[in-house]
Structure 1
Amino acid sequence: MAMTSGHVHRDTVSMAEEQVRHWLKTQHYEGPVAEEGRHRVGAQAVLDCSLKERVRGAKGAKESLARWRLREFTLQGIWQTSLTVSTPTGGRTWVRLDAELLPARGVAMAKAPVPTLARGLLDVLSGTEGEHQGSAALHAMPTVIERGDLDEVLDELCDPDRRLPIVVASTPAHTDFDDWLAETVDPLLRGCAGLAVLYALAPGAEREFNRTLEHHRVFGGAVRTYLPGLDPAWQPDAQRHRVMARHTFETDLRRASGLLAWLPRRLAVQTPLPDALAALPPLRARGLTDSGAEIDGVQPGSLLVDTHEEEALEERARAGEIQEVRRWLRAAEERESELAAEYDEQYSELREARTEVRSLRGRLAAVGYPDLPHAPQPDRDSLTDPASFAELLERMGEFPLLRFTGDARLTRDLDQQTDHPTWVRMAWDALLALQDYAEAAVQGESNGDFRRWCENTPAACHPFPPRKVIRDESRTVRSHGKWKTERELPVPVAVNPTGEVFMGAHLRIGGGGTAPRLHYHDDCSGTGRIYIGYMGLHLHNTRTN
C-alpha cells in the first residue's frame, strides 16, 4: 500500500506510532514503538524502529523518514510487515505498508492477508492515492456515491494521473441498500483496502452514472474494477475494466473477495513506487532489547535467527520477486508484439477500406450519382507512404500549410523504437488530415478546431481518428515546471515574439498511454500555418515517469 497522508510528517508519524502500538496489542505483542533499535516483542517476534532525518543524493536534499518493521519467525520463514513514512523536503508525506513472507529454503511463497494495521492507518491519515490535486481519497471501507458526488467521482475515474484502480459496486433492484452494504459489499471489498479506491453506488445515482459512462456501465449488483487510463468515449477500452457479476459472489463470497483483490494486489506489486518511497536504504537492525514481553512455553529466541540469516532470507525473497517481474515482463513483451502485429494488420485493412470507399464514391458520381458526397481525391493519395520517419521528414514539403519546427533527431529516433510500420503510417495520415484541415481553416470553412474537423470530416478529405486528437494537456502537466517547459516548442517570431508557444494540443501516434505524440500549434487564423513542434516518444508526465 502506498498513499499520501493528509497530515504533515510529524503528525503522520505520531498517528502511525499509535496505530502500530494498537496493532501490536491485537497481535499479542507489546514493545516500544518510538525508540530506535531492535526490540523483542515476543518469543518469536522482533520490532525494528528507525525514526530520523537522513541526507540523500549528491545535492544533499534532506528527507524525513520513519520506519517500523515487525518480523515474526516461524517454520515457514519470516512473516514481515514494514511501515514507512517518508517526506522529501518541500513535498507531501507518503506512507507505505508492505506485508510478505520471506520463505525459508524449500518453502513456497504464501499470500499475506491485508494487515489490520492498513485499515487503522486508512481510518486516521486522510490519505489519497496520489499527491496531485484531485487525487481520490482512500478509505478502509467503500464510500457511498450519491447523485451530488457523481461529478467528482467521474473526474477521479478519468484522471490521467491516477495510480490506483477504482472499484465500484452497484446495487441490485428491490434490495435494501444498507443491508446490501453491510452483508455483501463491505466483506467483498475488504481485501482491496489500501490497494484501490472503493465506492458503492447508491440506487439514486446509478442511472446517471451509467448514462455518463455508457461504454463502462455497472449495474444489477455487479462490481467493476476501473483501471488507470480510462477512456470513457472509446468503446473498446471497456474490455480492460473487469466486471464481476453478482452470482459470482453470491455463490462464494470469500472466494469472490480474493478474486476481486487479485488485480489490485498485482498492480500494487508491479507499479513503480513514487519518488519519495523509491531507493530507500535497507533498514538495519541495531541492538536487541527485551521489552519484557511475557513468554510461555517457548524458549526466548529459540526461533530467532541471526542477522546474517535474516538478510539471506530477505535477499532470497527479493531474488524471487525479480525473477517473477522478469516473467511478467517477458509475457508482456510477447503480448505487446502480438497486439502490435494485429494492430498493423487491422490499420492497414482500415486504410485500404477507406481508400476503396472513396474510389467507389468517385466512380458512382462519374456514372450519374451526383448527390453522393465526393470531390476529386488530392494528388497526395497517389503517392506511396513513407517507409520511415526519416523519409517522412524529407517529404514535409508535400504539405504546404504544415511546418515542422521540432528536433528532427528525436523524430528519426522513432525508427529505432519499433519494428512495426503503423507509427509511420499513422503519423503520415495525421499530416494528410492536418493539411486538409488547414486548407479549409484558412478559407474559414473548417467549422471548428482539428478535433471537431476529425469528428465531421468531409467525404473528400483524409480522416483521422478523433479520439486520438487531444485538445490540451492536463492541468497537472501545465502546472509542472519541467513538463510544461518540455512542451514550450519552437515557432516563428511572427507567431510569438519569444519564438516559442506552449503546445498542449497533440495527436496520439499508435496505441497505448506512452505511444509517440505529435504536438502542434494551430495558427491558421494568423500566419495560415500549422506548426509541428514535436514528433517523438511521449513527453514526460506522471504516467511516463
Structure 2
Amino acid sequence: MMPLSVPTTDPTALGCRSLFRVQNQPDFTDLVHQQLYAWCKDDRKRWDADQITGPGVYEVADGVTASLVRDERQDGSIIERYRFHQDEGQGIWITHLTTFADRNHNGWVWTDVFQPTGRGSARVPRLAKNILEVVDGLDGRHPLTARPVRAGTDDLEEIVAALTDDQRRGFLFLAGANDAADIPQSEWARYVDKLLVGTAGLASAYVLDSAATRELNAQLPESHRVTPWTIRTFHPNPEFTDPQDSIRHRVLSTARIIDDNANRLRNRLAESSCRHSTTIALPRELVRIDRVLRGLLDELIVDETLDVAAAASEAILESAPLHSGDREQLLEPVDALPPTDPTVPATIWQTLTRVVSTVTGAKDVTIDAVNHLGKLATEALSLRPQVADLSRLRDRLRSVQTERNDLEDLNTELNQRLTDSRDEFAVFRIDLADAQAEVRRLARELAKLDRGDVDWNLPDKPIDTPPISFEDLIDRFGEFDHVVFTGDEKPALDLDDHDSADWAIATWGYLRVLDEYCAERSDGTYDRAIADYIRSRQKGHATIPPGIHAPDETAQTYNNTKFRRQRQFKVPPEVDADGYAYMGEHIKIAKYGTVSPRMHILNRASDHGKIYVGYIGRHLVNFRTN
C-alpha cells in the first residue's frame, strides 16, 4: 500500500457504462477478478496488479493509481469497487469496476469509463467485453449477448420477451433478412457482427433469418417492423400501440449499409450505444451501492492521510536513540527516591529522569536534555491541528457527497426529461408537417371545385380556445356536458410549476374527445369502448393519438395492492356507495421523466352518461417509477 498521491483535477465525464445482472453463478466474482487482472497485465498496460492485495491505494504503474474498497454486509452480500486513475500525459482516464454479489450468487457487474471532457465518445472497455465472455450477463430478465446471435423462428418468443422487458436498459439490435436477395445468411451475420463489435457489453443483438423476420413482423405493428437487410435499434420500453413511438427506434437502412464506410458505421453504432448507456438512470439499488462505495473511498483517503501523520509522529519519536528497554516503562509505578533537589518531590524527579532517558537517550537530567525533550514534544503536538483538520475534512467530504447525490438525482431526472421532450418534439414536428400537407391538399381540391375562396377561419367557440394552465383547465371543466372532474385539484395545479402550457392544451383536446365520445354513447349512436372510438375516428375530427390512451394499468401494477390503492379516486355516491372507484384507464398526457403527467378516468357513459376524471397530475408510482 502506498500513501495517497493527490491527483490532478482536469475535468472528466462519464463516457461509457456497461451494466448487467448475474443470476445464480457461484463463482462469478472470481471470474471477474481473473479478467480484471488479465486486463491490467496485457501488453498494452503491463500494470502491476499483484500489488492490489486488499482494500487500499496502490501505484500500479507510472501515472496509474489503483484503489480497492470493499463492504461485507450483514446480509451476506459483498460489494467492492476497483478504481484505476490514469494520468499519463494524455488527460485523465478513470475506470471503475464494481461488483455486487449476494449470498444466493446473484448480483451485478458494472464498468464505468470516465474520459477527459471534450474528447468525443468513449468506447466500451475490453474489460467489459472480456467479462461477458465468461459470465452470463442479463439485461433485465434476458441474456445480454456478447455478440450478435443468429436467430430462427424458435428464438422469437425469447426475442419478443426481451423487446418488451420493462427492466431492459440497453439497446436491442435486430437485423432482418428475406429470400429475395441472394445473400448467404452466414455472410450477412458476419457483417452485422463486424458492425456491432463496439456494442458488446452495452447491447444485445440478433440476426434473424428470413422465416424469423417474416414471423416477427407478423407480430409487430407496421410502424415497428424490421425491414430485411436493415438493422433496427430498439430502445427500452417500445410502445407498440403507438405508431409515433417508432421514430425512437432508428433503422440503419440497406442503402446506408451498402454505401457507407463500414468503420464509420461501426463507430456510429458504438457511439450511440455508449451515449445511451450514460443517460439511462441507474436502478435505485445501485445508486445506494455507488454512494456507499464513494463514501468508503473518501474514508480510505482520510485514513491514509492519518496513517502518514502517525508515521511522521513515530519518526519524530524515533529521531533520538533509545536506551535498551521498553517505552512501556514510562507507565510503571515509580519507587520513591531521595530527591536531588529538596524542592522537587522524589517521584516527579524519578519520572522526569526516566522520560529523559527513554526519549532522548540522555543518562542525566540536564538543561540540554530537557530542551531536547521539549522540542520533541512541541513537534509532536504540532501534528494535532493536522488531525483536527482531517476531521473537518471528513465532515466536509460527507457534506459534499450529500450535495453530489442531490445533484446526480436532479441530473438523472433532467436528462430523462430532455430525452422525453426531444421525442415528443419530433412527434409534434411530424404531426405538423402532416397537417400542413393535408391543408395544402384540401386547398388544391377545393380550388378544383371552384371553392378556393372558402373561409378557412374556424368558428369562434369558447371551447375551441384551450387553457394554457391547469388552473384554468380545472376552472373550465363546466364547459363539458359529459366529462366531470371529481378529484383533488392540487396534483393538477402542481403541474403548472413546470411551465409547460402544451400539457394543459393537450389535456383539453383529450377531454373534448372524451366528451364527444360520451355524447355519442349516451344518445346511442356509438356503443363500443373508448379505445375503439379512438381508432375509428374519421379525418377532420379531433382524436387521441394511438398509444396515448391506456384501457388499464399493466397486470403487475393492477395486482400490487399498494399501487392499486393509489388508483382509487373519488366518485359521486350514485357511482359507488363508498365514494371511491378504481380508475386504471388513463390518458398519457406527456412523457417528462418521473413527472410524465397522467389523467385517470372512469368510463360510465353507458349507464350514467358521464366520464369521471378522478386524477390529473404527475405519474403515479409503479414498478418502473418506484
TM-score normalised according to structure 1 size: 0.72
Aligned: 1:392 with 2:479: no
Q: Which among 246, 261, 267 is matched to residue 258 of structure 1? A: 267
Provide the secondary structure at the position in 2 that maps to 1:96.
Answer: strand
Superposition map of 1:148-227 within 5 A: 148-159=154-165, 162-171=168-177, 173-182=181-190, 184-211=191-218, 212-227=220-235
Q: Does residue 31 in structure 1 map to residue 45 in structure 2?
A: no
**Structure 1 CA distance, aligned partners of 2:463 and 2:284?**
51
What code does the residue aligned with 1:50 have? Answer: V
Give SS of 2:232's match.
strand
Q: 1:213: how far off?
A: 4.1
1:52 to 71, 94, 99: 71
Deviation string 1:31-60 (CA, Å, 9 cap, x unpaired) is 2667322345456645422232369xxxxx
Instruction: Please give the secondary structure, in 2, of the residue aligned with 1:50.
Output: strand
What is the Cα deviation at residue 119 of structure 1?
Answer: 2.0
Equivalence for 2:493: 412
Change in Cα spacing, 1:412 to 1:52, as seen in structure 2 (3 Å) is closer
Contact 1:9 1:64 in 2 (8 A): no
| Counterpart among 598, 602, 619 of residue 517 in structure 1 | 598
- CA distance in 2 between counterparts of 1:526 and 1:15 reads 64
What is the letter of the counterpart of residue 147 of structure 1? T
The residue number in structure 1 matching 2:516 is 436
Deviations 1:80-108 (A, max 9, x none): 3211123699997332101234x5xxx96
- Structure 2 counterparts to residues 298-377 of structure 1, below 5 A: 339=425, 346=432
User: Structure 1 residue 538 and structure 2 residue 619: aligned?
Assistant: yes
CA spacing shift, 1:402–1:424, aligned 2, 3 Å: same
Structure 1 residues 123 and 446, CA gap change in structure 2 (3 angstroms): farther
Q: In the alignment, which residue of structure 2 is the partner of 1:488?
A: 568
| Partners of 2:85 and 2:95 within 8 A in 1 | yes
Q: Indicate the residue corresponding to 1:95 in structure 2.
A: 109
- Distance in 1, matches of 2:277 and 2:607, equals 49
Give the unaligned 5+ runs of structure 2. Answer: 1-16, 305-392, 447-458
Matched, 1:245 2:216: no
Indicate whether 1:268 and 2:274 are aligned. no
Match of 1:230 among 222, 225, 238: 238
Q: Deviations over 1:225-273 (max 9, x none)?
A: 1223433344443333222234555553233211111111111122222
Query: RMSD in angstroms over aligned alpha carbons?
Result: 4.7
Equivalent residue for 1:84? 98
Cα gap change, 1:442 to 1:53, in 2 (>3 Å): farther
Distance, in Å, in 1 between the alignment partners of 2:277 and 2:623 is 16
Question: In structure 1, which of residues 134, 140, 143 is the aligned counterpart of residue 149 of structure 2?
Answer: 143
SS for the counterpart of 1:467 is: coil
The 8 Å contact of residues 404 and 531 in structure 1, kept in 2 or not, is answered as: yes
After superposition, what is the alpha-carbon deviation per residue over 1:339-384, rounded to whole angstroms, capped at 9, x for unaligned?
499669949979x98xx99xx9xxxxxxxxxxxxxxxxx9988775
> Residues 9 and 85 of structure 1 are in contact (CA less than 8 Å); yes or no, is this contact kept in structure 2?
no
Q: 1:500 to 1:127 in 2, by over 3 A?
A: farther
Distance in structure 2 (CA, Å) of the matches to 1:9 and 1:486 = 38
Letter in 1 for 2:56: G
- In 1, the alpha carbon distance for the partners of 2:89 and 2:538 equals 72
The residue type paired with residue 172 of structure 2 is: I
Structure 1 residue 506 displacement after superposition: 0.7
> Displacement of 1:465 after TM fit?
3.1
Secondary structure of residue in 2 paired with 1:260: helix
Q: Which amino acid aligns with 1:411?
A: A
- Where does residue 448 of structure 1 map in the other structure? 528
CA contact under 8 A between 1:67 and 1:84: conserved in structure 2?
yes
Q: What amino acid does structure 1 have at the position aligned with 2:109?
A: V
Q: Which residue of 2 aligns with 1:372?
A: none
Instruction: Indicate if the aligned counterparts of 2:242 and 2:545 stay in contact, CA closer than 8 A.
Output: no
Instruction: Tell me which structure has the larger Cα radius of gyration.
Output: 2
Change (3 A) 1:408 1:87: farther
Query: For each residue in 1:443-463, what CA deviation from the matched residue of structure 2 results, as whole angstroms up to 9, or x when unmatched?
Result: 665332111112224799864
Higher relative contact order, structure no. (Cα contacts within 8 Å, ≥ 6 residues apart):
1
The answer on 1:65 being equivalent to 2:79 is yes
CA distance in structure 1 between the aligned counterparts of 2:574 and 2:460, rounded to whole angstroms:
30
Q: Distance in 1 between matches of 2:418 and 2:254?
A: 30
Count of residue pairs the alignment pairs up: 478
Corresponding position of 2:357:
none
Deviations 1:190-244 (CA, angstroms, capped at 9, x unpaired): 1111222222122221123334342234334322212234333444433332222
1:495–1:10 CA distance, 2 compared to 1 (3 A): farther
Distance 1:165 1:340, change over 3 A: closer
| Identity in percent | 29
| Corresponding residue of 1:122 | 132
Residue 70 of structure 2 aligns with an amino acid whose one-letter code is: L
**Cα gap change, 1:532 to 1:74, in 2 (>3 Å):** same
Could you tell me whether the CA contact under 8 Å between 2:58 and 2:66 is conserved in 1? yes
Cα deviation, residue 535, structure 1: 1.0
- Tell me, yes or no, if the aligned pair for 1:17 and 1:33 is still in contact at 8 Å: no
Q: Which of these residues, 12, 22, 34, is aligned with residue 6 of structure 1?
A: 22
Query: How far apart, in 2, do the equivalents of 1:338 and 1:437 lie?
Result: 26
Structure 1, unaligned runs of 5 or more: 56-60, 289-307, 361-377
- For the 8 Å contact 1:13–1:85, the answer to whether it is kept is yes
Per the TM alignment, residue 7 of structure 1 is displaced from its structure 2 partner at its CA by: 2.4
| Aligned-partner SS, 1:66 | strand
1:467 aligned to 2:547?
Answer: yes
Name the aligned partner's letter for residue 36 of structure 1. P
Q: Is the 8 A contact 2:95 2:114 kept in 1?
A: yes
Contact 2:122 2:271 in 1 (8 A): no
Work out the CA distance in 2 between the residues paired with 1:475 and 1:156.
18
- In the TM superposition, residue 534 of structure 1 has moved relative to its aligned partner by 0.8
**Does the CA-based 8 Å contact 1:494-1:527 persist in structure 2?**
no
Change (3 A) 1:210 1:77: same
Q: How many Å apart are 1:426 and its aligned residue? A: 2.8
Read off the aligned partner of 1:273 and give its amino acid letter.
L
CA contact (8 A) 2:121 2:274 kept: no
> For residues 478 and 105 of structure 2, what CA distance do their matches in structure 1 show?
48
Aligned mates of 1:409, 1:18 — CA distance in 2? 56
Change (3 A) 1:114 1:397: closer
- Once residues 454 and 143 of structure 1 are traced to their aligned partners in structure 2, the CA distance between those partners, rounded to angstroms, is 39
The one-letter amino acid paired with 1:469 is H
Structure 2 counterpart of 1:20, from 36, 41, 45: 36
2:188 and 2:203 map into 1 onto residues whose CA distance is 20
Aligned residue for 1:531, secondary structure, equals strand
